[in-house]
C-alpha cells in the first residue's frame, strides 16, 4: 500500500494547509466529499488523478423558519406603517410584543433543529465542479509518495482519497 510521506497524519495536515475552499462553492453554501482516484507510480509520483464520485449537499432553511421570517417581515412593515399613521401607543406596544414573540419563535426553531436542512446538490452544479477542480488540483500538487511494494519491489498502485469540503 502506498503511503504519503510521514503517514496519514501528515496527509491530513497537507490537505488542510493546501485546500482552498472555492468561492463559488462557498457563496452557494455547497459542501461535500470528493473521492479522487489516482495512481501512485513506482517512483512515488502521482498520475492519472480523476474524480471517482462525489457526495454534495447544501443547507436550505426549513419551511417553518422561512414562514416565520416572512411573517416577521410582514409584521415589521405593519408596525412601521402604524407608527407613520400615528396609531395609539397601546396598539403599537401590542404589535411590538407580537413581533418580539415571533422573533423568539424563529430563533427557538433555529436552535432546536438548526432551522435548516441538508439537501443533495446535482453533480452538474457549478459549485460542485469547483469543489472537484480544487480536489484534483491539491492531489496533483502533492509531493511524491512512498510507493506500494510487491515482493520487495515498488509497483504502480491505485489509491482513492476522500477529500471533505465542509462549511462551518
Nearest CA to 137 out of 38, 55, 5 is that of 38
Residue 121 grid coordinates? 446538490
**pLDDT tens by residue, 106-147:** 555 555 555 566 677 776 788 999 999 999 999 999 999 999
61-70 confidence digits (pLDDT tens): 656 556 666 6
- Report the candidate in 53, 48, 49 with the shortest Cα–Cα distance to residue 33: 53
In whole angstroms, how far apart are CA 54 and each of 47, 128, 167? 20, 9, 16
The pLDDT of 34-46, averaged and rounded, is 97
Distance of alpha carbon 162 from alpha carbon 51, whole angstroms:
10
Q: Return the closest-CA partner of residue 48 out of 57, 39, 56.
A: 39
The DSSP string of 75-109 is HHHHHHHHHHHT--HHHHHHHHHHHHHHHHHHHHH
Give the residue with greater pLDDT, 85 vs 17. 17
pTM over 0.75: no
Contact by Cβ (8 Å): 138, 32: no
Higher pLDDT, 15 or 97: 15
Residue 56 · residue 30 · CB < 8 Å: yes
Amino acid at each position: 500500500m502506498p503511503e504519503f510521506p510521514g503517514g496519514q497524519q501528515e496527509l491530513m495536515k497537507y490537505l488542510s494547509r493546501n485546500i482552498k475552499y472555492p468561492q463559488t462553492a462557498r457563496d452557494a453554501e455547497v459542501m461535500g466529499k470528493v473521492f479522487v482516484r489516482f495512481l501512485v507510480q513506482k517512483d512515488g509520483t502521482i498520475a492519472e488523478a480523476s474524480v471517482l464520485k462525489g457526495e454534495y449537499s447544501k443547507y436550505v432553511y426549513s419551511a417553518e423558519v422561512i414562514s416565520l421570517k416572512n411573517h416577521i417581515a410582514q409584521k415589521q412593515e405593519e408596525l412601521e406603517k402604524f407608527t407613520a399613521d400615528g396609531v395609539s401607543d397601546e396598539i403599537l406596544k401590542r404589535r411590538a410584543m407580537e413581533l418580539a414573540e415571533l422573533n423568539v419563535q424563529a430563533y427557538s426553531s433555529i436552535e432546536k433543529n438548526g432551522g435548516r436542512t441538508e439537501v443533495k446538490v446535482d453533480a452538474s452544479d457549478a459549485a460542485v465542479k469547483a469543489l472537484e477542480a480544487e480536489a484534483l488540483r491539491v492531489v496533483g500538487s502533492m509531493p511524491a509518495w512512498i510507493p506500494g511494494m510487491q515482493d520487495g519491489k515498488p509497483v504502480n498502485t491505485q489509491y482513492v482519497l476522500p477529500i471533505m469540503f465542509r462549511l462551518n
